[in-house]
Amino acid sequence: MALVTGATRPGRVGIAIAAELARRGCDLVLTHRHGKRPTGKGRAELAAAEKSLAALGATVQFEHVELDKPARVAAWAGALLGKLARLDVLVHNASIYQATPLKSVTVAQAHEAFTINALAPLVISRALAKLLAASPLRSPSGTRMGGAIVAMCDIHAMGELGQARTDFAAYSMSKAALLELTLVLARELAPKVRVNAVAPGVVAFPTDGDESDAAMQAKYLSRVPLGRAGTPREAAEAVAWLALEASYCTGQVIRIDGGRAIT
């Protein structure tokens, strides 16, 4: 059983992670932002996700949670604890991503980014840690692994020279906090829960805004040694490996960036 936050939007990394875990035999709990009774586009999105994942053999349970409201996140996670018989994998994928230039960034924007991208993962991990620790999950070779947490970080928020981005202070700070949370949880939850991170470069360019511009994308890719953007599935494969196969791996960060971090 795998829980993936923010995993229903077509063409994005979250649904790709859900699909890859389904291919490898997981049933799924997926969080979404469409309200308790989705209608219109939101309802269609969930229906499409359920159909595609069912075709891969997974049963799917959808959960609406407001990740920007910590008290509600805590209540939801506590209630989920009572519903699930087991939990083997927790993927912190949900994220808010928006430009926040220094001249216009607000306290509210920074608070929202931190709450969704870092605080919500902390609250959810705390609530579900005991269930993950009880996981009977074994590696393909038969080694008992216990449960796994995988956090979706970002190569541009890892404290490395030359990688920090301008105009994204709120997002980058929150993702840096998520990376540190990953390392702390890896120590605190060992040896029963493995905690790792995947840090993509570009695996799915935004479909609107400045980063949807072809010239901007070409400029970015000119600094990627492999010469192309990645794909959501390539990021998802790394998540699945960490969650389901990497029996002797915790506190690690896998970069899925085509080599961008070394240029």
CATH number at residue 36: 3.40.50.720
* Confidence at 127, pLDDT banded by 50, 70, 90: very high
Q: Which residues are catalytic?
A: 171
Contacts 24+ apart (CB under 8 A), 78-81: 78/127, 80/3, 80/29, 80/127, 80/128, 81/127, 81/128, 81/130, 81/131
Q: Which residues constitute the domain of residue 146?
A: 2-262
Task: Report the chain's mean pLDDT, rounded to a whole number.
Answer: 95
Instruction: Give how many domains the chain has, as a whole number.
Output: 1
Work out the pLDDT band at 159, boundaries 50, 70, 90.
confident
Question: Average of pLDDT values for 109-129?
Answer: 98
pLDDT tens digits along 201-251: 999 888 777 788 899 999 999 999 999 999 999 999 999 999 999 999 999
User: Does the model's pTM come out above 0.75?
Assistant: yes
Helices (H) and strands (E) in the chain — how many of each?
8, 7
pLDDT of residue 189: 98
Separation CA 14–CA 146 (nearest Å)? 23
Q: Which two tokens stand for residue 3?
A: 């829980």
Residue written as token pair 């599935």 = 233
